[in-house]
Amino acid sequence: MKLKKAVIPVAGLGTRFLPATKAVPKELLPIIDIPSIQYVVQEAVDSGIQEIIFVTGRGKDAIEDHFDEAPELEQILAERGQTETVEMLRRIVAMTEVVSVRQKKPLGLGHAVLCARDLVGNEPFAVMLADDLIDNDVPCIRQLLEIFEEKQESVVALMEVPQEDVHRYGVIKGSEVKKRLYQVEATVEKPQASQAPSRMAIIGRYILRPEVFAILEKLPAGKGGEIQLTDGLAQLVRERKVFGCEFEGDRYDIGDKFGFVRATVAYALKRPDLKDRVIDYLKSTIQ
């Protein structure tokens, strides 16, 4: 079955980035001049996903506005002869179909995914977390999709992390069935380093079979008193096969301040209009 939809949870308050996120959704904070959420939507679109489902909350309407038409703005730009800018804005709107559902209470990532149940329907879907930017020629979610297309089972993105960082992630126990492909045997959300089953961390890209909804619906609160997607996966593993893909690409955790700075520098270095000046600047400041 072909996968058409991606769920992107965007209801989080973004408290780690206050005061920037007091009046602006964290997903709209730009990496240079592109709101971070647009990179994630672009990754989905480049991977052949046709519909984006935002799970939103109060104060997040501007995210939908970003992917909607802006006739007044376009008209002013057109009158000023800024046709290239108008076209650039139109391309963002034409990228994909966007729908949204509200998560009324911050009950956790598993709950956010469950909120999208009616919009997803009884079909496999992607989940993409907007705090994770992953840069690669073959988009990360496309790499997961290739495994899904072969196996028709759920797939999570994996990255080996240092032992001291495992407590920040969902972590798997699994066996490598071929290069970069794991069969997941168990998952645990944010374990202490001494209790982690491995150093293979789940990064914010998932392909999930719809059976996960029935699991999430019955799931008790886990770590932090929240309904955890990782706990849902732990149950899914008992019912069906789940695979892990050690993806190729550079991953930036932009929910973290240093990760945000790294992403800004890395994306600037990829931009022909900025690269040389950024290199010169960095060289001159570290001497």
| CB of 135 or CB of 278, closer to ligand G1P | 135
Q: Is 202 in the site for ligand G1P (CB under 6 A)?
A: yes
Cis peptide before 19 (omega within 30 of 0): yes
List the one residue from 142, 230, 236, 242 that touches ligand G1P (CB under 6 A): 230
| Residue 222 makes contact with ligand G1P by CB under 6 A | no
Among candidates 229, 224, 161, 225, which has minimal Cα distance to 196?
Answer: 161
Contact 13, 20 (CB under 8 A): no
Piece of the chain touching ligand G1P by CB under 6 A; list 43-51, 68-76, 77-85, 125-133 = 125-133
DSSP assignment of 185-253, as one string? EEEEES--GGG-S-SEEEEEEEEE-THHHHHHHHPPP-GGGS--HHHHHHHHHHHS-EEEEE--SEEEE
Q: Examine residue 43 and tell whether it contacts ligand G1P (CB under 6 A).
A: no
Residues 127, 81 contacting (CB under 8 angstroms) = no
User: Would you count residue 206 as binding ligand G1P (CB under 6 A)?
Assistant: no
Determine, following the binding rule CB under 6 A, whether residue 128 of this chain makes contact with ligand G1P.
Answer: no
| 237 near ligand G1P, judged by CB under 6 A | no
CB-based closest residue to ligand G1P: 170
**CB burial of residue 283 (10 Å; 0-12, 13-18, 19+):** exposed
Q: How far apart are CA 82 and CA 34, in angstroms?
A: 18
Window 84-123: residues binding ligand G1P (CB under 6 A): 109
Q: How far is the CB of 61 from ligand G1P (least distance, A)?
A: 22
Does residue 27 touch ligand G1P according to CB under 6 A?
no
- Secondary structure (3-state) at 273: coil
Tell me how far, at minimum, the Cβ of 2 lies from ligand G1P, in Å: 26
Residues binding ligand G1P (CB under 6 A)? 109, 129, 131-132, 169-170, 189, 201-204, 228-230, 255
